[in-house]
Chains A and B, each alone.
Chain A
Amino acid sequence: MIEAQNLVKRFRGKKRGMVSAVNGVSFSCRPGEIYGLLGANGAGKTTTLRMLATILEPTEGTAVVAGYDVIKEPQKVRSRVGFLSTATALYGRLSAQEMVEYFGRLHGLDETSLHRRIDAIFERLEMNEFRDRRCDKLSTGMKQKVSIARTLVHDPSVMIFDEPTVGLDVMAARTIARFIAECRDQGKTVIFSTHVMSEVEKLCDHIGIIHGGRLMAEGTLADLRQRFQMQDLEDIFVKVVEP
């Protein structure tokens, strides 16, 4: 479960002074559901998700993720969250297995359950062929799989994806989309940000349109279509964000 309550994040910019990247965002996402955060570049998607993953601390407001407050118990939140974005790169000099092992250990798994878990994940994602290969020698698709394995190693109940398909080819992007859907099917709480309309249409149960750091519209795809009397999500998006 994710419950964002009036999240605000302000940064001190060199030229512009204090800048509000996120300005009072509230929403909730239940287990077995995918919440899509739709927004243009600079809308505040990444900052919102980083606050949910406790990488950034909110300036105001808070969020409860997997039953824990992001400000009061950030470590407990992180141990129940799997966070994946294009910015979460791999350690190039570690092998695929070492990379996943490292994160498994940091999540407090003992060696026996860690290796059992890694074997299962590597089997499921068909990673055994390159498990001992260094991450910097892997193809983009293989790297994506290692990142997925890294987010799954501790079996998190909440998954946060920040534009996970940016820069990926069709096949790699499909792997990610399939993985996101699988997470929902397993009863995990899933939130993901994107600016690709088709991904939202295909995957999301709930959609939040974010612009200028504010959540401008929210609901299921059917809700939004009905409210704006439009079928195409892109048209709805433009209608919402254009003044």
Chain B
Amino acid sequence: MSLRNIGIVYRKELVDSLRDRRTVISMVAVPLLLMPLLTIGVGAVLVRQVGQAMEEVPRVMILGGQDSPNIRAELEKLKAVRIVPEKPDYAEEISNKQIRAAVEIPGGFDSKLAAGDAMTVKIYMYEGEMKSGFGADRLQKFFRDLRDRTVKESLQARQLPESLIRPFDIRQQNVAPAEKVGGAVLGGIVPYFVILLCLTGAMYPAMDLTAGEKERGTIETILCSPVSRTHLVLGKFLMVLTASIATAVLSLASMSASFGLGKKLLLGVAHGAADSAMQITISAKGIASIFFVVLPLAVFFSAALLAISLFAKSFKEAQSYLSPLMIIVVLPAVAALLPGVELNTALALVPVLNTSLVSKEIMTGTYHWNFIALIFVSSSVYAAIALAIAVKLFQREDVLFRT
């Protein structure tokens, strides 16, 4: 094994790749721009939209209640909503977003309220539509306040204490450290992006260094040099791995930086609406551990992509082979995001899914060392197999000179 020759090939491929715009974009620009864009950009847009929706005075309709002038008058006095005239097609108007919600006042509301009779106020809304939700919330708050007020007055009239109907309060209090809270919120998302970027970072150099060489006619030039094909493929592999790791490292760094920055910016934009985001932090130890478990996966991706794209005659053909691979990788990476998918011995052997799941645990500060070791070893075995296949393919004339 000549490390010198592998080093020469690696250095040349590094220089060559860094001059390739597509490789630089996928290796440097995407992780550096995508993360801030996702966390700050999308976050800011989201916060702004929520803010705008909250500022809007929702148009709501009162259905019925003609025999209850008091409640109607109180509703009409409400500044948080704007009452529009009643129409029979209120459901359609809600669905078409012409009004945000409608409230149905039961018959004889005023008198029943005074008499203490049970009744149900119905609020109609568009499930899942944010502005409709806000409209319905305001109506609900109005009626809840009215109910509380009525109860309070009733208790006072009977000279009974308020604690009679509210003997105790219930409050949820977080005791988990910020790191764990952050991990639970971002547990699946962060590894998902790192794994995906590891793949995309390796993709372009893998295609360029194999199918690209065939297309440009340089494969024959390099094959007539005395470098052995094993050294050649190992030099190329190291370059692809560098791109993959660089993408992962840059994305992790950019994610941490933009997350920290994003919190401040979001707080500025939302005027305190993103308070809960302040609780979320990503620990440096977690990031370093994820990098460690993703490393064999990066080796696996690099070798597998190299082997697959070597098969292709042209860059375009290589793209058509590798695009479906994205979906194959995305599926297990996404599966780890699903609630209830927990790490076990069998899943620890499934490539990609195992790394995604263990990263999710690491993000919450949970370190199952036996699983981490099993995943590291199994991923390393897959990586070694993929690399052996890539080396083997480089010896095959029918692959190198496929026409």
- With beta carbons under 8 angstroms apart, the residue of B8, B216, B226, B228 that contacts A92 is B216
Classify chain B's interface size: 20 to 34
The answer for the CA separation of A72 and B321 in the assembled complex, in Å, is: 36
Is the C-beta of B117 less than 8 angstroms from some C-beta in chain A? Answer: no
Q: Which of A23-31, A75-83, A117-125, A193-201 contacts B (4 or more CB under 8 A)?
A: A75-83
Are B225 and A93 in contact, CB atoms less than 8 angstroms apart?
A: no
Contact code string A29-62 (vs B, CB < 8 Å = 1, else 0): 0000000000000000000000001111100000
Are B220 and A55 in contact, CB atoms less than 8 angstroms apart?
A: yes
Q: Which of A100-108, A175-183, A208-216, A226-234 contacts B (4 or more CB under 8 A)?
A: A100-108
The answer for the CA separation of A12 and B401 in the assembled complex, in Å, is: 12
If A93-B20, A94-B12, A94-B16 touch, whether A106 touches B225 (CB-CB below 8 Å) is: yes
Is the C-beta of A85 less than 8 angstroms from some C-beta in chain B? Answer: yes
- With beta carbons under 8 angstroms apart, the residue of A11, A54, A88, A108 that contacts B221 is A88
Residues of A contacting B218 in the complex (Cβ-Cβ under 8 angstroms): 88-91
Is the C-beta of A205 less than 8 angstroms from some C-beta in chain B? Answer: no
Residues of A contacting B169 in the complex (Cβ-Cβ under 8 angstroms): none
If A12-B398, A94-B12, A98-B15 touch, whether A89 touches B225 (CB-CB below 8 Å) is: no
Residues of B contacting A184 in the complex (Cβ-Cβ under 8 angstroms): none
If A88-B220, A106-B8 touch, whether A78 touches B226 (CB-CB below 8 Å) is: yes
How many A-B residue pairs have C-beta atoms within 8 angstroms? Tell me.
Answer: 63
Residues of A contacting B221 in the complex (Cβ-Cβ under 8 angstroms): 88-91, 150
Look across to chain B and name the residue whose beta carbon is closest to the beta carbon of A160.
B224
Are A108 and B15 in contact, CB atoms less than 8 angstroms apart?
A: no
Known: A53-B224, A107-B226, A108-B226; 6 extra A-B contacts, CB below 8 A, are A12-B398, A56-B397, A87-B220, A88-B218, A91-B216, A106-B9
**B contact set with A: CB distance below 8 Å:** 5, 8-9, 12, 15-16, 19-20, 216-218, 220-221, 223-228, 397-398, 401
Can you show 25 pairs from A to B with CB atoms below 8 A apart? A12-B398, A55-B224, A56-B397, A75-B226, A75-B228, A76-B226, A78-B225, A81-B224, A83-B224, A88-B220, A88-B221, A89-B216, A89-B218, A89-B221, A90-B218, A91-B12, A91-B16, A91-B218, A91-B221, A93-B20, A94-B12, A94-B16, A102-B8, A106-B9, A106-B227
